[in-house]
């Protein structure tokens, strides 16, 4: 013999039919009033992301800052390299896509502040060109 119950899960109500499988077991008495259910404990808030380092001041040079959060996948330049405007300096992996980061100006790479595998945030200084 099936018994019908209304069950509430995460605020949604479901009507369910429960059937007893063992004929030799006496049915358990059904309580008339539902016991109060404790509210779920709130989940702790995720830790605040670390603050992005301030971009380096450009002392006669141009900084290339990260346009988005991601991971440095490949460096195409090294300190001391002479590069042309529009040349690929590095590849930033973000959202499973490889984003080519180009030199905005021609010049010499004076500093590379990241290495392959580093995670970066939007606005982090990646490269300085003089």
DSSP character for 66?
-
Whether 126 contacts 112, CB under 8 Å? yes
Q: Tell me the pLDDT of the chain (130 aa) as tens digits.
A: 677 878 777 777 777 777 776 655 555 555 555 555 555 666 666 666 555 554 444 456 899 999 999 999 999 999 999 999 999 999 999 988 999 999 999 999 999 999 999 999 999 999 999 9
Domain ranges of the chain: 62-129
What is the side-by-side order of every strand in the sheet holding 62-65? 62-65, 125-129, 107-112, 82-83
Run of H or E including 100: strand 97-102
Domain made up of 62-129: CATH architecture: Beta Barrel (2.40)
DSSP character for 68?
S
């Amino acid at each position: 013999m099936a018994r019908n119950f209304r069950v509430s899960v995460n605020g949604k109500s479901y009507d369910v039919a429960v059937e007893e499988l063992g004929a030799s077991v006496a049915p358990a008495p059904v309580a008339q009033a539902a016991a109060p259910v404790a509210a779920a404990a709130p989940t702790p808030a995720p830790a605040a992301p670390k603050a992005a380092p301030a971009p380096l001041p450009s002392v006669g040079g141009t900084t290339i800052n990260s346009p988005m959060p991601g991971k440095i996948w490949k460096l195409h330049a090294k300190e001391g390299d002479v590069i042309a405007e529009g040349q690929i300096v590095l590849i930033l992996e973000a959202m499973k896509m490889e984003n080519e980061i180009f030199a905005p100006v021609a010049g010499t790479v004076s500093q590379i502040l990241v290495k392959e595998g580093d995670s970066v945030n939007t606005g982090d200084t990646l490269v300085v060109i003089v």
